[in-house]
Structure 1
Amino acid sequence: MSKPAAPDIAHTPLPALLEVVGEELHQLAADVERLHTIVELPGVRQSLRDAQCFDVLQGIDHVTQNLAGLSKFLANIATTAPDAWTLDTRSACDAVLLAALSERLKQPSQPRQANAGGDECEFF
């Protein structure tokens, strides 16, 4: 009698991976959106009269919209991708420099830990 093979953690179901990447993009969009509070800092509102500063603020808004759109795009694709499709994510996850993000991508079935972004600091 043979022993059943252990599940290969490196082979991640595509729908779960797409969902996790979509959630990460959604969180990034929310984090970038918080940058708009910079406008309320002393002296910044006056600086917005400068076209270059205003363009930077519009750029932040554009990034937020793109991240939110990509998040929704991947979430929709995740709902239609076959569960049987899997990917070997080992080398891709090794390229991700933030350990917590890499772990979320390696094991997309694990829930994302709620935090304020201060649980990890990796200097370059």
Structure 2
Amino acid sequence: MDLLEEYRRATFFFESGDPLGAAKLLEPIVEAEPRNTAVRQLLARAYFNSAQLGRAEAHLRALVAHDPSDHYAHHVLGRTLERDGRFREALPHLRLAAAMKHHSDYQDALHRVEQWLGKAEDSQ
């Protein structure tokens, strides 16, 4: 199997709106090259986009453990936890991402979770 060609095919599937197809192509590549962060990140995003949040979380936690300064991995991990309704767990990752890099998506996600948590605390 030509891993580079499979990665290119997976990227095409992902960008064409088929995250499940992309994930199927990426899984054996990650198995063959577990330290390849680009492949692992795309697989995590494919899982996120196909609502396989537990799988996305596992790969994103591996990325963050490998490189704690990876702002994008923190952001997507925070978004994954947010999407799973785990707002308190999402908040530190979203804060880190927003502190490491000024990006409107990062700020929006952080504000959304902070607002949700503020509303949840107000109702208690």
Using the size of structure 2 for normalisation, the TM-score is: 0.28
- Greater length-normalized contact order (CA 8 Å, ≥ 6 residues apart): 1
Decide which structure has greater helix share.
2
Using the size of structure 1 for normalisation, the TM-score is: 0.28
